[in-house]
Amino acid sequence: MRLSICHQKWLIPLIFLTPAMLGLFLFKIYPIFLAIWESFFIESFGVGGGKIFVGWENFTLLWNDFVFWRSVRATAILTVVINPVQISLALALALLLQRRSRHIRLIRSLFLLPIGIALPIATIIWGLMLNPNDGLINAMLGIFGISRQPFLTSEDQAIWAIVAIATWKGVAFWMLFLLAGLEDIPRQLYEAVRIDGANWLQRHRYVTLPMLRRTILFVLVADTATNFVLVVPMIILTQGGPRQSTNVLMYEAYRTGFLFQDFGKSMAIVTILTSITMLVIALQVLFLGDRRGANK
Amino acid sequence: MLRKWPVIAWYVCVVIGLVITLLPFVYAAAGSLKPNHLMFSELSPFTLKAFLPGTDPVAYFNIFEKGFGRAILNTLFVSCTSVVIGLLVNSTAGFAFARFRFHGDKVLFAIVLVTFAVPAEAIAIPLFIMIRGLGWFDSFTALIVPGIANGLVIFLYRQFFAGVPNELIEAARVDGLSWWRIYWTICMPLAKPVTIGAGLLLFVFQWESYLWPLIAAPSPEHHLIQVALGRFSTEFSAIWNEQFAASTIAGALPLVFIFIYQKQFVSALTGVDLK
């Protein structure tokens, strides 16, 4: 009798949990470790196929590969540009939509529409709009007498065009968290500084920003992680070009694996990218997170 | 007069923001109903006609001749299967985390939370090696199975089930109901809002996936809608109206659902309650 109760205690949760946990372990956790493991092998094309253990060779090959370093550079530029741009715009939009006004629900819904649009769709439509010869944007710039811009076909502008596309798609999503954070700030705080004579800028400097600190940090970390693996616009529009200006690490990993069939090296890039991502996020939390005791 | 300025500035900002947000929707939908050459002539020089819908549906017929219908059916099949299996599998796990205490439950739940942070793109390439090893390469199995277990959906159900009153569960236990009956006949009907949000989440996740189906199932008979779209944009890059037509169809369907269930979708996706 005692045995059967004991038995039931773990058997029932086990039955309820197994399918989902098995799926998570196999398809979400295991691949991370598989990437690290596989980065120490190369695929053999000899008789029977199989893999050959090569130690650090995939990594030393990358270290000496200038394409890889250009890719690191492209990733660094994208990261430094896109995350501040998206978060500032998301915050601006949240402040804009916080206002109680007529039709505010409809206006908010319209601003949220890009969340429901898949990134490939946004990429394709914006890609055509940014077409240097026949695109809508150049036609509209023409009204203001601005000459045609090369956008995605230019080494200097391509990364900015991709930032614009990803920002159009992503800003509303990050805005939601900031809007929720704004609405949690007690109104009395604003009243208090208003009585002290603070203007618009000071109110946000001394109330909004400190009160939103945790939300902003969360959005920054999540946005950074998302943008480190931004690869769809590169696959569809630029193939890493022109002159590798948009060849970010995630695209380089994709290219190395699926265009050159070098999966060992591809996994090495994925491993490096994951490590960089974790390092950057750790630094963000360290420098922007609550410093315990610092204010007391 | 001076007090009106912030209001005017607010409206100006909202209008500018809305124009940028809505421009691609209007332009693509309008262009999808025009012959290709008309789209170019309306832009040189620019006229506002570019934003008015045309009346020629030929692009829509053409994309179906190029296999777009197949991609839609494939995506509906993959998405709906993922929703049905995914809701069942993740809700049972959420139920277990909410109602049972067992050895290691906290550690397991922490692992569920960690999986939120793993971006799908980062694991796509090792997952591909794994799927190839399992012999699932280029099959619907490869498209459906890896996406079923979802940490966010488990989390959403756990949060909801943890809030179901204990007395209700205890009373059902005293009446001799099995745990499965409690889950299925008592808890799941209560969790309808979560099921709507989570179901939509799983649906959209499949409908909008691109990198994984591109590498895991490359042959045309397994093409999902975003992959087909990507193929149009490279293979038929000069035929703009067809790309717009395909984008309009691929974009409209999830948008309709998301618009109807916006509250549930947003709260499932972000935990934010829209007021």
- Here the CATH number for the domain that contains residue A162 is 1.10.3720.10
Q: How far apart are CA A197 and CA A191, in angstroms?
A: 10
Q: Specify the CATH class of B66-166+192-270 in words.
A: mainly alpha
Q: What Cα–Cα distance (Å) separates residue B119 from each residue in A65, A78, A155, B122, B125?
A: 26, 18, 28, 5, 12
For all residues of chain A together, what is the average pLDDT? 90
Q: Do B145 and A128 touch (CB under 8 A)?
A: no
Q: Would an 8 Å CB–CB cutoff place A81 in contact with chain B?
A: no
The question of ipTM being above 0.90 is answered as: yes
User: Quick check: is A11 in a domain?
Assistant: no
Mean pLDDT of B63-87: 95
Q: Do B229 and A124 touch (CB under 8 A)?
A: yes
Contact yes or no for B199/B148 (Cβ under 8 A): no
pLDDT score recorded for residue B44: 79
Q: Which residues of A touch B259 (CB under 8 A)?
A: 109, 116
Burial zone of A92 (CB within 10 Å; 0-12 exposed, 13-18 middle, 19+ buried): middle
Q: Residue B78: which of B265, B215, B203 has the closest Cα? A: B203
Q: B216 pLDDT exceeds 80?
A: yes
Q: What percent of chain B has pLDDT over 70?
A: 98
Q: Which residues of A touch B115 (CB under 8 A)?
A: 24, 28-29
Q: A247: which 2 tokens?
A: 């060849």
Residues A30-80 pLDDT 10s: 999 999 999 999 887 655 567 889 899 999 999 999 999 999 999 999 999
Q: A295 pLDDT exceeds 70?
A: no
Q: Do B226 and A120 touch (CB under 8 A)?
A: yes
Q: Could you state, in order of their start, the residue ranges of all structural domains in chain B?
A: 25-56, 66-166+192-270
Residues A81-100 pLDDT 10s: 999 999 999 999 999 998 88
User: Quick check: is A173 in a domain?
Assistant: yes
Q: Do B210 and A119 touch (CB under 8 A)?
A: yes
Count: domains in chain A: 1
pLDDT score recorded for residue A296: 34
Q: How far apart are CA B113 and CA B99, in angstroms?
A: 18
The number of C-alpha atoms within 13 Å of B207 and in the hemisphere containing its C-beta is: 25
Q: Which residues of B touch A260 (CB under 8 A)?
A: none
Range of the domain at A163: 69-288
Q: Residue A152: which of A173, A166, A142 has the closest Cα? A: A166
The number of C-alpha atoms within 13 Å of A153 and in the hemisphere containing its C-beta is: 9
Residue of A17, A109, A236 lying closest to B233 (CB–CB) = A236
